[in-house]
């Protein structure tokens, strides 16, 4: 019989990696007639299929109070411990409610036992799984030891206990090989490697009436070369390399378009990019005010586009990150059959590069050979088509929904004894 899955996280809303990848998992599980339900502190899932507990969100006032007192210090008071325990006990009660309400048979904690943005929730999940022995597939996206802000802490005992938990009823999954190695070294547990995926089995949607005039609406001329940087403005995205590349291309038609804003990590990096663009004589456009999670009209009556509305109009994608947990934007560009300029960040080198993709690669700085290759990509339509078609085929092999379905079937068989129906 198909199983009932319960996804658990602080948030299932918006376009963050956890929200996007969990939805893909649920879609693929649905191919085998499994049902999925959602537990979180903030949610955009169907209300009939979700339990929203505000206290489970990482930005809830109680959790903020706790976080202010457990990071950057190595000692916590008894009062802080009591507040952590009280919130954890309450959240554990709501987990029992969630599992009972929807008849959950397999729990899927999504990064909730990985990044300790909500320590009480991690404790609650761990204790719930220890008490019930419910089978669980923990989907880990990035670990606390990868973030310097979690390096000095007053809750090391809780991190050892719950981030992630080590229980016999848990199967751990990670999105890259480096995480797999570190999890084994630090926690002594094995894990399955399941990278992020896209629906390469089905082609992306084509531009429609809503998105037909994207270039005009963001201020580009019909003959401008649309170079898209589809990321937030944070230092690890390496956007200065994209500016250097466009400057070296030396074509005034080249416009560098950055889709998302800064904000969550301050604006100093954005100011530096603006100054660098002036020095390099690069026309850079920040269009976060025209890009949102859903299509809509803003207060001025202007169209708000999604990122997927932008891709079909782009000529080249820049992805010069210095670090990524995997690289969703890279897969997204391949999905839309766009050529990509990529910086060889460590996870790319270890996990993605060996697959044999054809990309314009930089290794920490922009060389003349990369500039020459980018000119050929932009000018030679046949060469460009060969590159993107090749990348689509390779990505379909390794990063498609079909690949995820095969992995999930194997995990479920080992964890619960479930097997797909033979036809």
> What pLDDT tens digit does each residue of the chain (423 aa) get?
899 999 999 999 987 889 999 999 999 999 999 999 999 999 999 999 999 999 999 999 999 999 999 999 999 999 999 999 999 999 999 999 999 999 999 999 999 999 999 999 999 999 999 999 999 999 999 899 998 889 999 999 999 999 999 999 999 999 999 999 999 999 999 999 999 999 999 999 888 999 999 999 999 999 999 999 999 899 999 999 999 999 999 999 999 999 998 866 678 999 999 999 999 999 999 999 999 988 999 999 999 999 999 999 999 999 999 988 888 899 999 999 999 999 999 999 999 999 999 999 999 999 999 999 999 999 999 999 999 999 999 999 999 999 999 999 999 998 988 877 765
What is the reported pLDDT for 263? 63
Q: Please give the model's pTM, rounded to 2 decimal places.
A: 0.88
What pLDDT is recorded for position 206?
A: 87
Cis, peptide link before residue 387, omega less than 30° from 0: no
Q: How far apart are the first and last CA of the chain?
A: 15
pLDDT of residue 328: 86
Tokens 């952590």 found at: 84
The domains of the chain, with CATH numbers, are 4-197+401-416 (3.40.50.2000), 214-398 (3.40.50.2000)
Dihedral through CA 19, CA 25, CA 29, CA 30, nearest 10?
50
Q: What pLDDT, on the 0 to 100 scale, is given for residue 422? A: 64
Q: 348 near 324, Cβ under 8 Å?
A: yes
What distances in angstroms separate CA 122 from CA 111, 239, 322, one per listed residue? 9, 34, 29
CA–CA separation, 310 and 199 (whole Å): 18
CA 173, chain centre distance (Å):
15
Length of the chain in residues, anyone?
A: 423
- Residue 276 has a pLDDT of 96
Rg (CA), the chain: 23
Lay out the sheet containing 360-362: strands in order across.
283-286, 254-258, 225-229, 316-319, 340-343, 360-362
| CB proximity list for 20: less than 8 A, separation 6 or greater | 328
């Amino acid at each position: 019989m198909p199983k009932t899955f319960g996804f658990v996280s602080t948030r299932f809303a918006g376009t963050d990696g956890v929200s996007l990848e969990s939805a893909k998992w649920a879609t693929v599980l649905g191919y085998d007639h499994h049902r999925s339900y959602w537990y979180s502190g903030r949610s955009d899932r169907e209300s009939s299929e979700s339990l929203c507990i505000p206290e489970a969100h990482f930005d809830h006032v109680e959790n903020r109070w706790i976080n202010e007192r457990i990071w950057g210090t190595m000692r916590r008071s008894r009062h802080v411990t009591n507040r952590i325990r009280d919130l954890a006990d309450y959240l554990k009660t709501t987990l029992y409610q969630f599992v009972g309400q929807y008849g959950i048979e397999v729990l899927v904690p999504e990064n909730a036992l990985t990044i300790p943005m909500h320590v009480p929730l991690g404790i609650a999940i761990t204790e719930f799984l220890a008490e019930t022995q419910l089978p669980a597939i923990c989907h880990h996206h990035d670990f606390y030891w990868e973030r310097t802000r979690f390096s000095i802490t007053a809750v090391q005992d809780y991190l050892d206990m719950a981030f992630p938990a080590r229980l016999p009823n848990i199967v751990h999954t990670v999105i890259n090989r480096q995480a797999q190695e570190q999890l084994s070294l630090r926690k002594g547990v094995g894990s399955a490697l399941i990278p992020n995926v896209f629906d390469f089995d089905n082609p992306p949607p084509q531009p429609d009436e809503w998105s037909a005039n994207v270039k005009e609406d963001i201020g580009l001329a019909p003959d401008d070369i649309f170079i898209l940087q589809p990321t937030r403005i944070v230092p690890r995205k390496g956007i200065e390399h994209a500016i250097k590349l466009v400057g070296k291309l030396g074509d005034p038609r080249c416009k560098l378009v950055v889709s998302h804003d800064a904000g969550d990590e301050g604006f100093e990096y954005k100011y530096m990019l603006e100054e660098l663009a002036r020095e390099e004589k690069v026309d850079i456009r920040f269009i976060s005010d025209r890009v949102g999670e859903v299509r809509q009209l803003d207060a001025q009556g202007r169209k708000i586009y999604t990122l997927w509305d932008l891709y079909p109009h782009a000529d080249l994608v820049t992805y010069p990150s210095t670090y990524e947990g995997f690289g969703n934007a890279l897969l997204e560009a391949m999905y839309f059959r766009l050529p990509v300029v990529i910086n060889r960040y460590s996870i790319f080198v270890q996990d993605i590069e060996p697959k044999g993709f054809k990309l314009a690669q930089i290794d920490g700085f922009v060389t003349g050979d990369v500039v020459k290759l980018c000119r050929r990509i932009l000018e030679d339509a046949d060469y460009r088509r060969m590159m993107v078609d090749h990348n689509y085929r390779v990505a379909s092999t390794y990063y498609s929904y079909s690949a995820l379905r095969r992995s999930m079937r194997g995990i479920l068989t080992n964890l619960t004894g479930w097997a797909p129906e033979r036809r």
